[in-house]
Amino acid sequence: MLPRNGLSNLPMIDGQIVTIERFLLEKQPEDAKGDLTAILYDLALAGKIISAQTRRAGLLDLLGLAGKVNVQGENQRKLDLLADDVIIRLNDHTGRIGALVTEEQKEWVRIPKEYKKGSYILVYDPLDGSSNIDTNISIGTIFGIYRVVDKNKRGRLEDCLQPGRNLVAAGYILYGTSTMLVYSAGKGVHSFTLEPSLGEFLLSQESMRFPEKPAYYSFNHASGRYWTKEMNQYIDWLRNSYKHTLSHRYIGSMVADFHRNLIHGGVFGYPAEEKKPNGKIRLLYEAAPLAFLAEQAGGYASDGNQSILDIVPTDIHQRVPVFVGNKNLVKKVEEMISTKRK
Ligand code: AHG
Ligand code: MN
Ligand code: MN
C-alpha cells in the first residue's frame, strides 16, 4: 500500500485508490470477467472522450443542431452524433460485440465482416437529455449489455430484441458538475467519478441503494393535461402523502433525474399521454438499462402495468411509459393506474 503522504487529495476507500479497472478486476462476478469487463472498460473510455468533448463544446463549435433528424423525428445535435460515433468506433472492432443498437441509427448496427464477431450486444443512448446541451445542463450516456442468443452466429435482430431481464450489465455515464460512471453487472450498483487531472474513474460509492425516504418526484407537470385522470390522481397522492418532505425536481435528462433520485430517493415518471400512448422514453436503450439499475439498487421500474424488465421489445426504437425509483412509489403507480385489473 502506498504511504498516504501527498495523496490526501485523492478519494480513497480504506486507504486504497480504487480505479475502475481495479474494481472491475477484483469485484466483477467471475462469469462477468473477460469480455464483459473489457466492454465496461471500453465504455469508460468512451465516457472520458465524450466528457472531454462535452466540456469543450462551447469552444469547438459542437453546440447546436447537426441539421439531421433521427428515426424518432427528433433533431440530432452535433454532440449526439459525436457521442454515437465514439461508441461505435471503440466497440466495432474488438471482437467482443455482436451487434449494436443506438438511438441515433434507424437500423441495428452490424459488426463489419472484417472484424471478429462478439458474444455481447450493446444498446445505448449516446446522449440522453440532449436538448439540454446548449444550456450547459447535465446530460449522460445510457447503456445496456446483453449476451447474444446464439454464440455461433453473427449478431442478428433477435439478439437485440431481448427483455431487460436478460441484461448482464447496464449503466450510465453522467456529464454533470463532475463526470460519473454508474454501472451494475448484477451484483449491486457502483459509482465512479472521473478525476480530471488523472483521466481515471475512481470509486465513489459501492452498492448504492435508494434511501427509504424519498426526497423528489420528477414528472413533466406541463404535460399533466394530457395524462389520464388516474395519473393525475397519483400525483395528488404523492403530494398529499409526503406533504413538505417531497419536492418536485425535473431536469429533462432522464439519466440525471434518475441519478439524483437514486442518491436522495424518489420517483421519475414519463407517463402515457393522450396523443402519445407509449410516452416518450425508449424501452431498449433508456428504460430497460435504468430499470435494471433500479432493481439492483432496491428500487423498481414499471410501465404502469408490469415491470419494465419483463417487456419483450418488438422494435428496437419502441417507446414505453416509465415509472422508476423507490419501489413503494412505483408499486403505488401500478396500483392506481394499471389497466390490467380493471
Ligand atoms: P434524448 O435526449 O435522448 O432524446 O432523451 C430525452 C428524454 C429524456 O431524457 C427526458 O426525460 C425527456 O426526454 C424529457 O422530455 P420532455 O421535455 O417532454 O419532458
Ligand atoms: Mn434519451
Ligand atoms: Mn439521446
- pLDDT at 76 > cutoff 90: no
- pLDDT tier at 2 (50, 70, 90 boundaries)? very low
Tell me the average pLDDT across 55-70.
79
Dihedral angle of Cα 76, 79, 83, 88, to the nearest 10 degrees: 50
pLDDT computed for residue 230 by the predictor: 98
Q: For residue range 247-276, what is the model confidence (pLDDT) as tens digits?
A: 999 999 999 999 999 999 999 999 999 999
In whole angstroms, give the CA distance from residue 161 to residue 19: 33
Query: What is the grid cell recorded at 72?
Result: 424518432
285 CA from centroid of ligand 2 (Å): 8
Q: What class has domain 216-341?
A: alpha beta
**Atom 17 of ligand 1, nearest CA residue:** 252
The closest ligand to the CA of 72 turns out to be 1
Q: Radius of gyration of the chain from Cα atoms?
A: 20
In whole angstroms, give the CA distance from residue 303 to residue 269: 9
Rounded to 10°, the helix 229-242/327-337 angle is 140
Q: For residue range 204-236, what is the model confidence (pLDDT) as tens digits?
A: 999 999 999 999 999 999 999 999 999 999 999
DSSP letter string over 213-244?
S--EEE--GGGGGGS-HHHHHHHHHHHHHHGG
Contact present, 272 and 228 (Cβ < 8 Å)? yes
Question: The CATH number of 9-205 is which of 3.40.50.300, 3.30.540.10, 3.40.640.10, 3.30.200.20?
Answer: 3.30.540.10
- pLDDT at 282 > cutoff 70: yes
Please state the domain extents for the chain: 9-205, 216-341
Contact present, 50 and 141 (Cβ < 8 Å)? yes
pLDDT computed for residue 7 by the predictor: 60
**Atom 2 of ligand 1, nearest CA residue:** 129
Q: For residue range 91-149, what is the model confidence (pLDDT) as tens digits?
A: 999 999 999 999 999 999 999 999 999 999 999 999 999 989 889 999 999 999 999 99
- pLDDT tier at 322 (50, 70, 90 boundaries)? very high
User: Any idea what DSSP says for residue 283?
Assistant: I
pLDDT computed for residue 28 by the predictor: 73
- pLDDT at 10 > cutoff 90: no
What average pLDDT does the structure give for the chain? 93
Mutating to test ligand 1, I would choose from 251, 255, 280, 290 the residue with most ligand atoms within 8 A of its C-beta, which is 280
- Ligand 1 neighbours by CB, cut-off 6 Å: 74, 103, 125, 128-131, 220, 252-254, 270, 280
14 CA from centroid of ligand 1 (Å): 39
The closest ligand to the CA of 280 turns out to be 1
